[in-house]
């Protein structure tokens, strides 16, 4: 029996072969109907992205994230498992995740890269390497791609669908507290949620970036 990593990579290769066959078949059918084959630069295949559509992985076939990229922003950062600490917020003791200084932190109780569920990743915007400063500055916008590579070297592609308004950390209304909690809940779909502070020079609020799973990078 193949090791889990080899089995997953073999499965991704099979998806690529099937997708390529579908593209070739569609191109041939179009050529027959029109009586001519269009130049290569004008074919639909040339305009397609490099994303291989696929279903999200099962939990036991997935691995934790190890690297995060936002190509449009030239952002490329390591992802590490993240710990937490006990803090007091509005007079109540609670737990708070502690993002690393120079990387971004994966919430270890959230989904794996490319898997069904909600992958939660937090990063600093105002101290340390401030790798998530672009989120606080509004540089992340809908339709941008986020690439998330797992510990086995497989890269999955997510597309930004929502960027939240800043939500207060202290003095938040009940509605704001519920909204912040909802961004961090697990889900029955595959998505990625990035979390950072706001504004870029201090931390009074939180900003959430939600991205939907598209598939694997070919």
Q: Are 142 and 163 spatial neighbours (Cβ–Cβ below 8 Å)?
A: yes
Contact 192, 211 (CB under 8 A): yes
Domain ranges across the chain: 4-48, 59-217
Distant-in-sequence, close-in-space partners of 33: CB < 8 Å, separation ≥ 6: none
The Cα 32–Cα 169 span in angstroms is: 61
Q: What is the pLDDT of residues 36-70, one digit of tens each?
A: 323 333 333 333 459 999 999 999 999 999 999 99
Residue 4 has pLDDT above 70, yes or no: no
Q: Has residue 105 got a pLDDT over 80?
A: yes
CA torsion sign for 147, 152, 154, 159 is: negative
Q: What is the pLDDT of residue 16?
A: 46
Q: Is 107 helix (H, G, I), strand (E, B) or coil?
A: strand
Pick the CATH number of 59-217 from 2.60.40.10, 2.130.10.10, 2.40.260.10, 3.40.50.970: 2.40.260.10
Confidence bin at 7 (pLDDT 50/70/90) = low
pLDDT at 142: 98
The band of 146, judged by pLDDT with boundaries at 50, 70 and 90, is very high
Nearest to 200 by CA among 150, 148, 132: 132
30: Cβ contacts below 8 Å, ≥ 6 apart = none
CA distance 189 to 171: 31
Judge if pTM exceeds 0.85: no
Task: Write out pLDDT tens, residues 68-102.
Answer: 999 999 999 999 999 877 877 778 787 777 899 99
Which residues sit opposite 81 in a β-bridge?
106
- pLDDT tens digits, one per residue of 148-201: 999 999 999 999 999 999 999 999 999 999 999 999 999 999 999 999 999 999
């Amino acid at each position: 029996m193949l090791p889990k990593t080899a089995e997953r990579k073999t499965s991704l290769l099979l998806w690529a072969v099937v997708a390529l066959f579908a593209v070739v078949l569609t191109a041939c059918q179009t050529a027959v109907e029109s009586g001519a084959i269009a130049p290569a630069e004008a074919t639909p295949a040339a305009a397609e992205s490099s994303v291989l559509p696929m279903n999200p992985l099962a939990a036991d076939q997935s691995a934790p994230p190890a690297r995060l990229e936002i190509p449009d922003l030239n952002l490329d950062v390591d992802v590490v498992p993240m710990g937490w600490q006990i803090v007091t917020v509005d007079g109540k003791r609670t737990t708070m995740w502690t993002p690393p200084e120079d990387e971004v932190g994966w919430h270890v109780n959230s989904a794996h890269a490319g898997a069904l569920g909600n992958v939660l990743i937090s990063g600093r915007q105002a101290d340390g390497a401030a790798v998530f400063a672009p989120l606080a500055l509004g540089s992340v916008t809908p339709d941008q791609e986020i690439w998330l590579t797992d510990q086995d070297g497989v890269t999955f592609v997510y597309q930004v669908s929502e960027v939240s308004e800043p939500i207060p950390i202290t003095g938040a209304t009940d509605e704001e507290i519920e909204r912040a909690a909802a961004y961090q809940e697990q889900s029955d779909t595959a998505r990625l949620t990035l979390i950072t502070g706001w504004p870029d020079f201090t931390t009074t609020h939180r900003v959430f970036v939600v991205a939907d799973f598209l598939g694997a990078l070919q």
